[in-house]
Amino acid sequence: MNPCLCIVLAAGIAVGPVAAAPPSTFGQLERRMQELVEQERFEELARAGETAFARADLEPWQRRELAFYALRGYHRVFAVTGQAAGLCRARNLLRRVEREVGFGDAEAVASRLRDVTESGLAKQRPKDPCSKPRAAAHVPTPTPAELLPVVQRQRPVAPPPADDSQPALLDVSRHRPAPSAASPAAAEPAPAAPPATDPAAEVRSRNRVIAGSLLLVLGVGAGVGAGAALWRRSEANGEIIEIDRRVNAELRLFTMEELDRIAHLADVYRTLTPVAGITGAAAGVAAVAGVVLLATRHRGRTIARVSATPWSAMLTVSGRF
C-alpha cells in the first residue's frame, strides 16, 4: 500500500468524523424540525425550536413558526412523560412569541396551542406547577424577656415642707360641677303651613275645567258644522249662477233638467241658511261659555243674588261667577 495513503487514512481515523454544520437558513431549520417530528424526537424538537426562535436574523413570521414547532414538542413530551415542566416552558415561550413578534394571521393556531397548554396545567391543580415556592424567612423566636419589657415604677416624690411665711394654697376640687341645664334655644319659627284647601272648591274647579273643555269642543264642532253648511250653501248658489250664465250665453231657454236642478239647489240654499246661522250661534255661545268656565276655575264660591224689580216684571239674576 502506498505510504502516503496510509498516512492520510491514519490521520482521518485519529481526527474522527467532521461535525455537520448547524442549519443556517429558515428552509434548513424547517427541514430539521420536520425530521425531528418524523423521528419522534420531541424533546430535541422543543429545544431546537426554542433555540431557533431566539435568532434575531430571521423574519418575525419565521421565528413564530419555529416557536410553534417547539410548543408542539413540549406538548408531546408532556403527553409521554406527564411532567408539567415542559408545559411551563411552553407557556413562557408562548408569551415571548406574543410579546416579541406577535401572532399575526396565526392567531387561531396560537389560541389552539394555548388551550392545550392551559388544559394540561389545569390537570395539575390545586397547586400551580409553574409557581416557584418561596423560601420562608427564618424569624427567630423571641424570648419571654423580649416579649414583656420591664417597666420601672418611679417612686413618689414627697412634697416640700410647708413654709409658714407663705399663705396656704386654696384646695381646688378636681371635680367639675355638673353643667346646668342649657336653656332651650329659641325655637325657629315654623314655616307657614300652606292654606288648607277646600275639597269642595277643588271639586268645583275640576268640574269647571271639564265643563269648559267639553263646551269648547262642542263649540269647535258646531263651528266646523256651520262652516260646512256655509260652504255647501255657497256651492249651491254658485252652481245656480253658473247654470243661468250658461243659458244666457247660449241664448236659449232652460231645459227641464236644468229647472229641476235649479229648484233642488234653491231648496238646499234655503235649508242651509238657517242651519248655518243656528249652528254658528251655538258654536259662539259654547265657545264663550267654555272660555268663561276655564278662566274662572280658580274662583271661590259663587255668589248669586236674585232680585225682583217692579219695572221689569221679571226676576233679575246677578252675581260673580
Domain segments of the chain as ranges = 26-122, 201-320
Record the cell numbers describing residue 309, joined without a space: 224689580
* Range with the poorest average pLDDT among 182-196, 273-287, 300-314: 300-314
The model's pLDDT over 172-210, given as tens digits with 9 standing for 90+, comes to 455 555 555 555 444 555 566 565 566 777 888 888 889
The model's pLDDT over 115-161, given as tens digits with 9 standing for 90+, comes to 998 888 888 777 777 876 554 445 455 444 444 444 455 555 555 55
pTM of the model as a whole: 0.37
The model's pLDDT over 66-117, given as tens digits with 9 standing for 90+, comes to 989 999 999 999 988 888 888 899 899 999 999 998 988 888 999 999 999 8
Amino acid letter for position 317: V
Task: Give SS3 for 167.
Answer: coil
Q: Which of 240, 238, 225, 208 is nearest to 284 (CA)?
A: 225
